[in-house]
Amino acid sequence: MNKIKNFLNKRLGFMTMLIAFLWIKTVIAYYIDFSLGASDILQHLIMIINPIATAVILLSLALYINRARISYIVMGIIYLLETVLLYSNILYYREFSDFISFNTIMGVSKVSKGLGTSAMTSASPHDFIYWIDFIVIALLFAFHFIKIDKRPLRKLTAAATTVLGIMLFSFNLMLSESNRPQLLGRTFDRAYIVKYLGFNSFLAYDSIKTAQNNQVRSSAVGTDMDNVLQYTSQNYAKPNPVYFGKAKGKNIIIIHLESFQQFLINMKVNGQEVTPFLNSLYSDKNTMSFDNFYHEVGQGKTSDAETMLETGLFGTSEGSFFQSLGGDNTLQAAPAILSQKEGYTSAVFHGNVGSFWNRDNVYKNMGYNYFFDESYYNKTDNSNTGYGMKDKIMLSESVKYLEQLQQPFYAKYITVTNHYPFELADEDNDGFAKPNTNAETVNNYFLTAHYLDNSIKEFFNYLKDSGLYDNSMIVLYGDHYGISNDKNPDLAPLLGYNADDWNDFNNSQLQRVPFMIHMKGLKGGINHTYGGEIDVLPTIMHLAGVNTRDYIQVGTDLLSKDHKQIVAFRNKTFVTNKYTVLKGTDGKPEVYENKTGELMDLDTNPKLKEQVEKWQQEVNEKLKISDVTNNKNLLRFYTPTGFTPVDPKNYSYQNEIQQLIDTRSKLGLKSTSVYSKNGNQSTTPLYNTDAPEIGNDRTNIDSWENILKEDAKN
Ligand code: GP9
Ligand code: MN
C-alpha cells in the first residue's frame, strides 16, 4: 500500500494514474458505447492499446511546467478535456452514429447539428463510470492519500516521457498500417481511424484535413464559376427526343452491382453460365444495354461511382470525395433534383454500417430522404460477409421499407457480397462450380458473382409479383473492377487469352462494366456507344424528363446524338470509340487501336498524334472543371434556376420507421406507397428467397406488421 502511495505521490506517478483511468474509461466506452467492428485479435489488441499513446503525449505537456501546483492543475485540465471529448463522443455517437469532428466542435458542420442540448437526452445510467474517477481523485486528495509532489521535475524526464508517448504512437500506427494498409491515405470510414488510433488522433487528423480543405475553398474566386458554367454549357448534349421523358413519373430503381465487370456477361465456366439472370436481362428487348461502358473510379471506389452517379462530377484525384468533401460541400444531386422537379421520394439500401465512406453524412447533402443501412435489417450469426450483409438477405429484408416509400421513388441498392475477397459460405452456393485458375481470388469471384446474379433474380421476381415492375425503370451498373490488374493474367486463360501476352491494353479493356436500363416498353438493344459512369446522371435525368441544361454535370447523355465518345479515367488516360490512350512509363501516350489491340506508332502518324493531343486536352479540361468545382466547393455560389439548395439538417436517418409511418398517416388516402395501394397490406410475403438464413419460412422475413409491433414496444 505504501509503495502505491509513494508512487502516486510523485508527479509521474500521479500522471500514470490519470493515464490508467483514461485508458480504462476509453476501452470500456469502445466496447459498450461504440460499435467499432473489431474483427480479428490484432484489431482488438490495437483498439485496447490505442488510448495510451496520445494520453501520454498530452499529459506529458504538463510536466514541462516547473511550478508544481500549476503543473498539477494543467494535468487536471488536460484530463478533464480528454474526458469531455470522450463523453461528448459517446453522446454524439448515440445520436448520430458518428464521431465528433473539427466542424462539429466549431458548430459549422452542415450535416449534423452541433452538440446541442438534445445530445444530453441520450445520457444513459451507466454513464457514471465515465465520471466516477473524478470523485475518486478528489477523495484521494481530500484524505491526503495523494499529495502534490513539490519537487521540480527535470526537463529531461519530461522530454523522455513525451518521446515515450511518440514512440508508443509510432508503434500503434505501425501495427494499424500492417492490419489496414493506407489507413490514413485512403480513408474509408471514420470509425476505422478511431478503432485503430483513438479519438485524439481522429480529431487531429480531421482538423488537418479540414484546414487544408478550407484553404483551397477560400481561394475560390468568382471567375472560377464562370469557367465552369462556360464549360458545362459548351459540353451540354441535348436529349434524344425518342427517349426524353420515357420514364417520367416512374419509380427509378438503381442497382449498384458491386465489383461487377462486363466480361461476366454471357460468360460460361465449366459449361455453365455464371450470371444467367443478368444475361437474360442484358438481351431483353426492353433493356438498353451498353457494351462499351467503363467505370471511372479512383481511390474512392464504390463512393466514387456513387459520386458520379448522383452528382455528375468525378471523385477527387486522390482519396474519396465522400470522405474528404462530400460531408460539407454544397451538392446538387439526383435525389434533390428528382424530388424538387418531379416529386420523388429517395432512399438508399445498403448492408454495411452507415458511416462507411461517410455515407450517413454525404447522403444528407444529396437530399436522400432515407438511408437504410445495416442496422435496419435483421441480423443472424452468419448473415454477414466481409463488407456487410449478404445481398439476398439485404434485398429481401429491404422490401418492408421499399413498400412504404411514397411513389414515385428513387431507390438505390448497393450490393456488397461480390466484393473482394469474394467470400461465400457453402450453403449460399446453389451448386455452381467455380473455375480452377491459379488464383483463388479469381476463382471465388465467379462464385460471388453467381450469387449476386441469383440475388437480383429474386429481387426482380418480387418487383414483378408486387406490381412495382410495371411502373419502374430499373438501372443496373457495375461500380468498378473486382479482379485487379495484378490478377488479370490468372484470369486471362478463362477469357481465351494467353497469360504471357497479357498487357496494359488488355487491362484497360477489362475496365468495362455493365450498364443496363430496363423498363417495360423501353426500346432496348445492345448499344455500342462508348461512355462511362460520369454519363449516367444526365442519361437518367433525361429519361425521367428532367432538363439538365442548368446543372453542373460534366458527363453527357449516352442516348444523345451530341454525346462525345471520349471516356476519361481518373488518372487522365482515356478511351475513345477507336483508340485506348494509356501512359507509358516515360509519361508519353501509349495508343492502342481498340479493334486490333495494336500499339500505334505516333511518330509515323502525325495526324493521329495531333488528334491524341487534342483528346488529351479535352480529358484534362473535363477533370479540371470537375475538380475545381469540388475542391473549391463552387456550387455554394451557384444555384440553378428553380432549384432550392439542400439543407442537410432536414434529414435524419435515425428513426426512419417512425418517419415512414408519419408520412403515411399524414397523407391518409393520398398515400401512394405500394403498401397503401395494396389496401394497407404488406407485400413482403411475395418475396421469395432461397437464402438459407431465411429459408422457406416466410415469417422469418420481418414483415411490416412485426416491425410496427416491435417499434410500439420500444
Ligand atoms: C462498402 C462497400 C465497398 O460499404 O460499398 O466499397 P468499396 O471497397 O468497393 O469501395
Ligand atoms: Mn465497390
Is 430 a known ligand-binding residue? no
Please state the pTM of the whole predicted model.
0.88
Is 480 a known ligand-binding residue? yes
Q: Please identify every stretch of the chain with a pLDDT value under 50, giving residue numbers as ranges.
A: 114, 700
Ligand 1 atom at minimum distance from 356 CA = 4
Q: Hey, which bits of 497-588 come out as E strands?
A: 515-519, 525-532, 566-568, 574-576, 579-583
Ligand 1 atom at minimum distance from 259 CA = 9
Q: What are the backbone dihedrals phi and psi of residue 581, each rounded to the nearest 5 degrees, phi first?
A: -110, 110
Ligand 1 atom at minimum distance from 357 CA = 4
Which stretches within 312-356 are classed as H helix? 321-324, 334-342
- Measured from the Cβ of residue 233, the count of other Cβ atoms closer than 10 Å reads 10
Give me ligand 1 centre to Cα 190, in Å: 14
Ligand 1 atom at minimum distance from 301 CA = 10
Q: What pLDDT does residue 494 have?
A: 96
The predicted-structure confidence for 465-495, as pLDDT tens digits, reads as follows: 999 999 999 999 999 999 999 999 999 999 9
Give me ligand 1 centre to Cα 423, in Å: 14
- Measured from the Cβ of residue 560, the count of other Cβ atoms closer than 10 Å reads 20
Q: What are the backbone dihedrals phi and psi of residue 86, each rounded to the nearest 5 degrees, phi first?
A: -60, -50
Q: Hey, which bits of 95-179 come out as E strands?
A: none
The predicted-structure confidence for 17-63, as pLDDT tens digits, reads as follows: 999 999 999 999 999 999 888 889 999 999 999 999 999 999 999 99
Q: What pLDDT does residue 702 have?
A: 57
The cell for 147 is 499529495
Q: What pLDDT does residue 25 have?
A: 97
Give me ligand 2 centre to Cα 346, in Å: 21
C-alpha–C-alpha distance, residues 13 and 31, integer Å:
27
Architecture, CATH, for domain 222-649: 3-Layer(aba) Sandwich (3.40)
The predicted-structure confidence for 560-589, as pLDDT tens digits, reads as follows: 999 999 999 999 999 999 999 999 888 899
Ligand 1 atom at minimum distance from 320 CA = 10
Q: Residue 566, SS3?
A: strand
Give me ligand 1 centre to Cα 301, in Å: 7
Which residues' Cβ are closer than 6 Å to ligand 1?
301-302, 352, 356, 387-388, 414, 416, 419
Is 302 a known ligand-binding residue? yes
Helices 68-96 & 41-60, crossing angle to 10 degrees? 140
Ligand nearest 189 Cα, by number? 1
Length of the chain: 714
Which residues, listed in sequence order, are joined to residue 607 by a DSSP beta bridge? none
Give me ligand 1 centre to Cα 302, in Å: 5
Is 556 a known ligand-binding residue? no
Annotated catalytic residue, options 26, 54, 83, 302:
302
Residues of the chain with CATH 3.40.720.10: 222-649
Q: What pLDDT does residue 402 have?
A: 98
SS3 sequence of 240-304: CCCCCCCCCCCEEEEEEECCCCHHHCCCEECCEECCHHHHHHHCCCCEEEEEEEECCCCCCHHHH
The cell for 265 is 456477361
DSSP string of 200-223, one letter each residue: HHHHHHHHHHHHHHHHHHHT--HH
Pocket test for ligand 1, best of 352, 374, 412 (most atoms within 8 A of CB): 352
C-alpha–C-alpha distance, residues 107 and 104, integer Å:
5
C-alpha–C-alpha distance, residues 240 and 236, integer Å:
12
Give me ligand 1 centre to Cα 289, in Å: 24
Pocket test for ligand 1, best of 189, 374, 416 (most atoms within 8 A of CB): 416
Q: Output the residue whose Cα is nearest ligand 1's atom 1.
A: 387
- Please answer whether residues 591 and 608 qualify as being in contact, where contact means their C-beta atoms are separated by less than 8 angstroms: yes
- Please answer whether residues 216 and 627 qualify as being in contact, where contact means their C-beta atoms are separated by less than 8 angstroms: no
Sign of the Cα pseudo-torsion (89, 93, 98, 104, in order): negative
Is 590 a known ligand-binding residue? no
Q: Output the residue whose Cα is nearest ligand 1's atom 9.
A: 302
Pocket test for ligand 1, best of 352, 387, 412, 480 (most atoms within 8 A of CB): 387
157 is catalytic: no
Q: Output the residue whose Cα is nearest ligand 1's atom 4.
A: 352
